[in-house]
Structure 1
Amino acid sequence: MDIKSFLDKKLEEWVLIISLIILVLIVFVQVLSRYFLNYSFAWSEEIARYILIWVAWISVSYSIRRQEHLRIEFLKDRFSPTVQKYIELVVLILWFLFAIFLAIEGTNVILGIQSSGQTSPSIGMPMWIAYLAIPVGGLLMTIRLIQQVYFLFRGNKRGGI
């Protein structure tokens, strides 16, 4: 598999797999530590929360790429295939505008948090790193939505998967 194909089809999948493994291990160790040693790691809950936030935002992009996001299609399915294509295009454009909004406003939020110097309570991580998931997610959504418009007019229902 070449690098272009990996970036297009597997990057988000691998990031999600590795992140979920780390998340499960952190929570598992924390539970065992509380149960058997009666000791709690102060940092584990905070790191698990931030990993989960990143997983959620990257998962949106991944689900767009695979066309496995939640959809309500009962109204669209009542039209001819040609009309369905244009309805899909309108939906993708509206979703694209929302993703752009998330990327821009998320960046503005990050710049504000970065200038304030806010850090997380347990591990002292700069909070802008946790909030960076919003514009990164918006940017990834934007890229994947552009891809979906391309796939829509190329006639590839599943986007090459």
Structure 2
Amino acid sequence: MKILDWIESAFSAVLFLAGIGISLYSVFMRYVIGASQSWATEIYTMMLVWAIFIGFSTALKEDKHIAIDIIYDRAGPTFRKISQIFTLVVGISFSVFVIWTGLDMVMTAYEQQIKTIDLNFPIWINYLIMPIAGTLLFIRFCEKAYKFFVKKEDVTHGEDILWKQ
């Protein structure tokens, strides 16, 4: 999992920084030089989307997603266990849905040979992020399920208090 952590972080950072760099280049060329670079929009949009979708998995791993802790923190251990199981089931189901629909999008775009307007770049490559992100989320939810059921940890807060009470 440490290798996956490193790969996710590296790809997300490189794609984000490259996307921002191309975006700044595009702005400079358009407003300072007066030469619009229409190709840049396609590239930096794709890079930022890929960086964000890869970041979903990292955010899940580090518990950085939006959560409503006020109810969870005041609830008893039974409610906490039930809510964590529910969260894991919904998360794994959502991940499978993203993988499935993402693969369908990729295959449809590939079969139809859809390409971007400015670069004439195959759009199915852009769509690959959907099944990749879904797979990364699936791995992270399975990791959380393992920690919850086998290691007896509170996967929302990273503690092992649920099973001690």
TM-score by length of 1: 0.88
Deviations 1:79-135 (A, max 9, x none): 223431231121111111011011011111211111000000111110011111111
Q: CA deviation at 1:32?
A: 1.4
User: Counterpart in 2 of 1:84?
Assistant: 80
Identity score, percent: 24
Which of 25, 29, 46 lines up with 2:42 in the alignment?
46
Letter in 2 for 1:5: K
Q: CA deviation at 1:35?
A: 2.3
Unaligned runs of 5+ in 2: 160-165
2:25 matched to 1:5?
no
Q: 1:86 to 1:97 in 2, by over 3 A?
A: same
Unaligned runs of 5+ in 1: none
Give runs of ≥4 in structure 1 deviating > 4 Å. Answer: none
Q: Counterparts in 2 of 1:141-156, with a 5 A limit? A: 141-153=137-149, 154=151, 155=153
Q: CA deviation at 1:38?
A: 0.6
TM-score by length of 2: 0.86
Of stretches 74-83 and 95-104 in structure 1, the one that deviates more from structure 2 is 74-83
Q: Counterparts in 2 of 1:66-145, with a 5 A limit? A: 66-145=62-141
Letter in 2 for 1:66: E
Give the alignment's Cα RMSD to 1 decimal: 1.7
| Higher relative contact order, structure no. (Cα contacts within 8 Å, ≥ 6 residues apart) | 1
Aligned residues: 155
Letter in 2 for 1:99: S
Which of 24, 28, 37 lines up with 2:24 in the alignment?
28
Deviations 1:37-71 (A, max 9, x none): 11011210111111121122111111111111111
